Every structure is written in structure tokens, then in C-alpha cells.
Structure 1
Amino acid sequence: MEKVTNEELYLSILNNIQDGVYYVDIHRKIKFWNKGAEQITGYRADEMVGLHCPESGLNHIDEFGNHLCVTGCPLFATNIDGVVRTEKVFVRHKNGFRIPLLTTVYPIRENGVIVGSVEVFTRNSPKVYDDNLIENLSEKAMHDSLTRLPNRAYLESFLQYKLSEYQRFGKRFALLFADIDHFRVFNNTYGHDVGDLVLTDIAKSIMHTIRKEDMFGRWGGEEFVGIFSINRNYEASVIAEQLRHLVENTVVTNSDGQELKVTISVGVTISRHQDTPDDIIKRADSLMYQSKHNGRNVVSSDVSAENV
């Protein structure tokens, strides 16, 4: 009789329980996906193993509409601090509807060092929800109602996540702070409807250029914040210049058919190891005001031009 190893026994047990179980490594790459997870979500193990969580299609959203893969991933947090977490979430089934789950995340240690986390999940209710309903909940909670860009709360959550990722794994990012030049002139001269048109046209110009790992949103009023992953320091200024140029070439046409030109002043900086969210925002904001003093429609940066 062939001897069964402990590992084979444990995997057999995990594969035959009704709860969903999956394991991710320290970088949130899925390494194990049991049959319970297949039955609950509709995704087979061969479709999920090898993917990073944000690529999986599950698109976890909490009960308040927050996209957890972007702003508050419990797996990411447990990988860092080793704290067991329980969350009520909605995930997207392979067939497109949303299902409510109760999930618990446990750290996995090897020789005392966290090497990954296991998430155990079960149906929180037999009910299923229309995906559009949940997406609308998220849209209202995390997006600006005028421009449809991520709002300040969403940006702040994403910035906290990116700082944690940088401090843990060294993944650099750039943060830019942009302000529309002479915005009060648009409002006072042409009316608030044209001011709103300026905001929405800028949003439309930029939102289609943003990669899925980046974020650009409305900080408030005529101010915008962008958070962009980079590999080299010089890329921060390149991205900022691209956005400045994109806005400069955006033409806003008012109800009288008059074409209006718009520009932005931009400050850009990159992540530093001791940064808090307030630190990096203030640094970029100060650089933006430097651009205002330098004649507007320019980028000011404190980033070294070296290719590192």
C-alpha cells in the first residue's frame, strides 16, 4: 500500500471541504485554489493558480463599496502584519453576478517569517446580486459625481496602499498634484456650467490613458492627484509632462461654439521610505505652487533625472 504523505493528506482534506480555500504568496500570487472555491466562484483552479489577486476577476468589494484589491486588500495587510482578518465582501462570480461572502485571512509562516496567507471563505447568504447594483454602490462611494474620476477618499485609500506596497516591496511610484490654471476666470467669465465642462473634458481626456495599476482623480475643486507606478525615477517627470501636454491640447467648446484653451500646473515627486500620505501630498502640492510661480502650464519636480 502506497504511503500518503502529510502534505498529500492535508491537500486532500482542503480540496474536499465545502468552504473555499486559497493560498497566496507574499506577492499575492495564487498558489492553491480548492474545489470549494471552484464551486462557490465558478472559477477552476487551472484558471486561477498563477494569477495575482488583482488579475483574478473576483474584484472583491466590501459592504461599503470599496474595491479591496485596490485600496484595502486583507491578504496584503495580513502578509505585512500577520493579523487574522475577517471581512464581509462581495465577489464577482465567473458568470457575472455578485455573491456575498464571509472571508477570514490567516498568515502562513515559515521559520517564523510570513511567506503568504490563506483565505477561507463561505457563502454569507444564498442570495445573488446583480453586478451593476454593486458596481453602482462602489461608483457612488468612491467616485466624484461630476467627473466620474476617483474621489479624494478613493485616492487617499489608494495612496496608503501604494505606500505600504513601496515600504514592503520597494515598488516605487510617482505622485503628481495638478491644478487648472485660471479656473476662476472660466467660472467668472463664462459661468459655472463652463467651469464644469472644463473639469469633465479634462477628466475624459485623461481617464482613457490611465493604466489599471495607476490612479488619477479629483482631489477637490479644480485640483487633481495622480498616482503612477514607475520603474525609474525619471519616469515621474515624463508622465507629468505627458499629462500636462494632454490637457494643453484639450479644447473645451462652450454652448456658443467658442473654443477655450485649458492648461494645468503640475508638481511631481516620488515615494520615499519615511513618507506618510500627508508628507508626499504636501511635497507635490508645494511643487505645484512652484509651477504657478514659474508662469503656469509647467511641471515642477524634485525628482533626480538619473536613470535609477
Structure 2
Amino acid sequence: MESAPGLQPDFTDVVNNLLTIGIAVVDRRFSVVMWNRFMELNSNVRAEEILGKNLFDAFPELNRNWLEKKIRSCMVLKTASYSSWQQRPYLFRFKAPAIFAQDNEFMYQDASIFPVRDRHGQVEGACIVVHDVTELAEAKRLLDVSLEQTLDLEESNQRDGLTGLYNRKYFDEQITQEVQSARRNGRPLTLVMIDIDHFKHVNDTLGHPAGDAVLRSISTQMCSTLRASDSLCRYGGEEFALILPQLRIEHADVILERLRSAVENTSIAIDDSTKVSVTISMGAAPLAEGVTPGQLVNMADEALFASKRAGRNCITYYNGKSN
């Protein structure tokens, strides 16, 4: 590096007085030979107190096995080594800057380790460079919190408050996406509309809290029998919509019969002395060529009405097959 005539900069003095970057140099025995102003201020250890002392003796909280290996590797291989705050939050356990101290106990750090050579080019030690990245880490934390809150809000907007199932809004969006995906990938899709039989009678005789208990219990029971890829939604009132991706209607019978039987055999406790059992009716329709999401819903609804006309507690398929 060239300098202006008459100007001979003392870079050692510059490095020693840096306030924004930490510089610590150790020799082959890990004795400290340089400790700059940044390190003094953040460690509360003055240079004259640590120079000539073993780094690990002075800072027993350092991860000795890891750092010693890094330093030795740097000196032997004569190459630099890096450590990100995301891999290891900090190297030295310095307190966080005051502005971030409320949410962060320690300073987040990026660290670099470089070989230090003598005038003959021989590696005689290592230089540890510490960057305070607490501001960056805090910004990342706040961004993550904001993202998580956004996702939680989005999730809550997609869920039915009573049953925890996906709601009608989610269903309307999901059935459109599933139809598009099935067409794009040439895969089957089956839609099932489900209705709790005689649900009005439960509400009228036992009260709306009992009806709510039935809805919650049946929702839990149905979810426990489905595949992870299936989407069960509360369509409205006592009606549900079940999206079965990658499943032909002729293969849906096993799943739907298991669903019907599970509900029929569930005893729901309303209070200490009252239990109730209900059944469900189902109508299933396959996605056919040229059928829109709305038409698919109508087809499944038509099959559901056929199940009700057939006496309820059964499954009707849009092609006319009935169980």
C-alpha cells in the first residue's frame, strides 16, 4: 500500500484503537500478543492485564476445544476460518450493546481467524477478528417474530373457531388449487360432502352447548381417521367438506366407510350423566373432465342428498353406487 510523501501510518496503532471491530492476536502457545480497544471495552480487561497471558486461562468460558482446533487448523493450513453468528451466536461472551440489552443478554458476533506471519513469512500465530452483529441478529429476530405472527394470523383466519378444522374460506381456495393441481399432474381427486344426521334434534333437545360438543368431538374423530394429505373443512353448520387428493372414487370406499363407522361408534359425553351418539351421511364425487370446482361441490352435494333420502348413515357416490 502506498502512502502520501512524508506520511508513515502506524497501522498497529490504528488496529489497537479500533472501536467497531475486535482484534485479538495469539501466538502458537495461545498467549495474547495484541488486544485492541474494542476487546478492552467489551471484556473489561485492559491490554496490559492480558498481554502475555494464555487466552483460555483469561477467558475460561470460551469453547476451548472448538476454538483451539480452529486456531491450530488456521496456523497449520495457513488459511482463514470463519464462524457466523447463526452457526455460533458468539465467540466471546460479551454483553450486548445497551440499545439491545433488553432482548439480548450477549453480543452476537461473526468471527474470523487469520494466520499471522513473521517477517520471513512463517506463521507464528493467529489473529481473531470479532464483528458485533447484534443489530443484524436483532433485526432477523424481529423479522422472524413478525413472520411467525403473520403466519399465525393467516392460520387462524383459515380455521373454524369451534372445531379447529379448516373453514369455508380455506375450502373455497383449496378446492380450486386441488382441481388445478389434479388437472396439471393428471391425478385423480375426490370430494366428499358430509352432514351430521338429525343434528337439529340434538340442538333442540340438549341445547346448543351440547351441539357444539358434538361438532368438536366428531371433528376430532374424523380427523384421526384421515390421511395427512386429506383436507377436512367445516363447510357450515353441521356440514363438512372433505378433499381427498390423489384418490380415485372407487378407492375412497375404505376411507369413507372407516370414517362413517368411527363416528357411529363414538359416544360423546355432554355432561357427567348424558352421552349421545350420532351418525353421518356422505356424498362423494370424482373430478371429471371439464368439471369446475363449483360443479364438483354440487355433484358431491347431490350424492349427499341421495344418502339422506336413502335413510342416512350411509355413503352415496355420484355415479349412483350406494352403501
Matching residue of 2:268 = 252
Give me the whole-angstrom Cα distance separating, in 1, the residues matched to 2:221 and 2:284. 19
What is the SS of the residue equivalent to 1:268?
strand
The aligned runs of 1:29-108 (5 Å cut-off) are none
Matching residue of 2:180 = 164
Matching residue of 1:176 = 192
Matched-pair contact (CA < 8 Å) for 1:237–1:268: no
Matching residue of 1:277 = 293
Matching residue of 2:155 = 139
Paired amino acid for 1:129:
D
Give me the whole-angstrom Cα distance separating, in 2, the residues matched to 1:192 and 1:132. 35
Q: 1:143 to 1:132 in 2, by over 3 A?
A: same
Matched-pair contact (CA < 8 Å) for 1:240–1:299: yes
Paired amino acid for 2:242:
G
Structure with greater strand share of residues: 1
Matching residue of 1:153 = 169
Give the drift of 1:231: 4.4
Matched-pair contact (CA < 8 Å) for 2:249–2:285: no
Q: 1:251 to 1:142 in 2, by over 3 A?
A: same
Matched-pair contact (CA < 8 Å) for 2:225–2:259: no
Gaps of 5+ in 2: 1-83, 88-138
Paired amino acid for 1:235:
H
Query: What CA RMSD, in Å, does the superposition of the two structures yield over aligned residues?
Result: 2.3
Give me the whole-angstrom Cα distance separating, in 2, the residues matched to 1:268 and 1:233. 7
Q: 1:135 to 1:207 in 2, by over 3 A?
A: farther
Of residues 278, 291, 298, the one that matches 1:262 is 278
Q: 1:218 to 1:134 in 2, by over 3 A?
A: same
Give me the whole-angstrom Cα distance separating, in 1, the residues matched to 2:228 and 2:287. 19
- 1:129 and 2:149 aligned: no
Matching residue of 2:215 = 199
Provide the identity percentage: 34
Q: 1:304 to 1:232 in 2, by over 3 A?
A: farther
Give me the whole-angstrom Cα distance separating, in 2, the residues matched to 1:202 and 1:163. 27
What is the SS of the residue equivalent to 1:262?
coil
Q: 1:132 to 1:253 in 2, by over 3 A?
A: farther
Give the drift of 1:174: 1.0
Q: 1:223 to 1:173 in 2, by over 3 A?
A: same
Give me the whole-angstrom Cα distance separating, in 2, the residues matched to 1:278 and 1:148. 24
Residue-pair matches, total: 184
Paired amino acid for 2:318:
D
What is the SS of the residue equivalent to 2:288?
coil
- 1:296 and 2:307 aligned: no
- Greater Rg over alpha carbons, structure: 2
Matched-pair contact (CA < 8 Å) for 1:236–1:270: no
Give me the whole-angstrom Cα distance separating, in 2, the residues matched to 1:137 and 1:208. 25
Once the two structures are superposed, what CA deviation does each residue of 1:23-59 show, in whole Å capped at 9, x if it has no partner? xxxxxxxxxxxxxxxx9x99xxxxxxxxxxxxxxxxx
What is the SS of the residue equivalent to 1:218?
strand
Give the drift of 1:215: 0.2
Once the two structures are superposed, what CA deviation does each residue of 1:221-248 show, in whole Å capped at 9, x if it has no partner? 0000000123444112322222111111
What is the SS of the residue equivalent to 1:139?
helix
Give me the whole-angstrom Cα distance separating, in 1, the residues matched to 2:312 and 2:290. 30
Matching residue of 1:222 = 238
Matched-pair contact (CA < 8 Å) for 2:229–2:245: yes
Matched-pair contact (CA < 8 Å) for 1:240–1:268: no
What is the SS of the residue equivalent to 1:234?
helix
Once the two structures are superposed, what CA deviation does each residue of 1:94-124 show, in whole Å capped at 9, x if it has no partner? xxxxxxxxxxxxxxxxxxxxxxxxxxxxxxx
Paired amino acid for 1:257:
S
- Give TM-score, length-normalised by structure 1: 0.56
Matched-pair contact (CA < 8 Å) for 1:236–1:269: no
Give me the whole-angstrom Cα distance separating, in 2, the residues matched to 1:184 and 1:231. 32
Matching residue of 1:14 = none
Give me the whole-angstrom Cα distance separating, in 1, the residues matched to 2:231 and 2:200. 26
Matching residue of 2:65 = none
Give the drift of 1:269: 1.0
Matched-pair contact (CA < 8 Å) for 1:233–1:304: no
Give the drift of 1:198: 0.5
Matched-pair contact (CA < 8 Å) for 1:151–1:219: yes
Give me the whole-angstrom Cα distance separating, in 1, the residues matched to 2:185 and 2:270. 47
